């Protein structure tokens, strides 16, 4: 893939990484090369790969874009062995994470290495060993979520020949096999940034992030609906959701219609009042960076990504709802 992956990756991590790399975003205009020493390390690690299977979600690699299923039984995330903090600090990505079964590896361009994995809840309540989704391509796949009770999937993947990312969907056939990825077409995917899609459970309502013309800020949240399989012209969600700041990474509750999203490296909630949405309220989780929220249908579990600039780690976190309201202290999922 071309440097479009680098531009898109830098842009889509704006909520979690803007504090450490805003100036680097504009520089990602060409294919990213890895310094000789880093490449040599990548080849050495690849050669040393054995039968070990990584069982954890959070590792020294890059676990991002979490999404929990409505019933809380499946947790999806993007994974790459590469740690991108050094890139946002002016250097090159570093190969720090372990291999995973099925991962398509790229030692030449780290931005081309990311697959979507899913972990299933075990009977003891812990998360099982992550499994490759099986619909990932040779470029960077990310920002995925299920719909149709797990028989449909929407995510971001590159489109040939430009290599720029678009929103795609896939559905399972009667035997449970994923169909060919389907681009949502020119009504949705444009030359602008389209990212972090969220589909309604029935697959006919789409919310997503874009920096296209007509917005209130750099990145806004947009909505489109499908009629007979054709997507209508996206509509800006407007105030009080969109502002002059960047709004990103939206999640809509199918139960309450509350809107969760990211703004200024934090999660906000806009409650549905019955006639409209209230002004968004900051969800204070006690972390300097929290983004990419999703919540189980019973409203008891919140999952999100958190970046730590001191340790240069990004982790997927969980917070449990408190009986008196609000959310408890977050902790890593494993």
DSSP E strand stretches across 61-113: 62-68, 74-80, 82-83, 94-95
> Which tokens in the block code for residue 151?
């028989």
Map out the domains of the chain as residue ranges. 4-332
Please report the sign of the dihedral spanned by the C-alpha atoms of residue 65, residue 70, residue 73, residue 74: negative
The mean predicted confidence, pLDDT, of the chain is 86
d(CA 331, CA 179): 36
Look at residue 161 in the predicted model and tell me its pLDDT. 80
Q: Residue 237 has which token pair?
A: 């969600």
pLDDT at 106: 86
Measuring CA to CA, which residue among 185, 173, 138, 134 is closest to residue 157? 138
Q: What is the pLDDT of residue 108?
A: 83
**What's the pLDDT score for residue 52?**
65
Give me the residues of the chain with pLDDT under 50, please.
Answer: 1-5, 7, 9, 11-50
pLDDT of the residue at 46: 47
| pLDDT score recorded for residue 163 | 82
Tally of residues, the chain = 334
Whole-number pLDDT of residue 45? 47
CA–CA separation, 203 vs 290, rounded Å? Answer: 27
- Which CATH number does 4-332 carry? 2.120.10
Cα(326)–Cα(317) distance, integer angstroms? 16
Q: What is the DSSP letter of 325?
A: S
The tokens for 129 are: 């060993």
Whole-angstrom Cα distance, residue 222 to residue 47?
45
Q: pTM of the full predicted structure?
A: 0.87
Residue 182 confidence (pLDDT): 96
Collapsed DSSP state (helix, strand, coil) of residue 81 = coil
């Amino acid at each position: 893939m071309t440097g479009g992956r680098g531009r898109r990756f830098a842009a889509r991590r704006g909520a979690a990484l803007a504090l450490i790399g805003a100036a680097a975003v504009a520089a990602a205009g060409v294919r990213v090369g890895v310094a000789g020493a880093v490449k040599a390390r990548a080849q050495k690690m690849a050669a040393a790969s054995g039968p070990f299977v990584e069982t954890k979600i959070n590792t020294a690699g890059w676990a991002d874009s979490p999404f929990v299923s409505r019933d809380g039984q499946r947790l999806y995330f993007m994974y790459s062995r590469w740690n991108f903090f050094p890139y946002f600090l002016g250097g090159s990505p570093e190969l720090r994470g372990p291999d995973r079964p099925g991962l398509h590896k790229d030692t030449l361009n780290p931005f081309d290495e990311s697959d979507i994995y899913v972990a299933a809840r075990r009977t003891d309540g812990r998360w099982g060993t992550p499994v490759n989704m099986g619909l990932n391509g040779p470029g960077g796949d990310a920002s995925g979520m299920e719909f149709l009770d797990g028989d449909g999937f929407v995510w971001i993947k590159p489109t040939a020949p430009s290599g720029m990312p678009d929103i795609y969907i896939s559905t399972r056939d009667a035997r449970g096999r994923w169909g060919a990825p389907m681009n949502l077409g020119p009504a949705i995917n444009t030359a602008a940034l389209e990212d972090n899609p969220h589909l309604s459970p029935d697959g006919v309502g789409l919310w997503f992030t874009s920096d296209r013309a007509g917005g209130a800020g750099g990145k806004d949240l947009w909505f489109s609906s499908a009629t007979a399989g054709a997507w209508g012209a996206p509509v800006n969600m407007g105030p009080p959701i969109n502002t002059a700041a960047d709004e990103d990474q939206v999640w809509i509750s199918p139960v309450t219609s509350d809107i969760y999203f990211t703004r200024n490296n934090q999660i906000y909630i806009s409650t549905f009042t019955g006639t409209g949405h209230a002004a968004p309220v900051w969800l204070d989780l006690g972390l300097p960076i929290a983004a990419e929220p999703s919540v189980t249908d019973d409203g008891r579990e919140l999952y999100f990504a958190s970046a730590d600039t001191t340790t240069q780690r990004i982790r997927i976190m969980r917070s449990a709802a408190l009986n008196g309201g609000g959310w408890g202290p977050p902790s890593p999922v494993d």
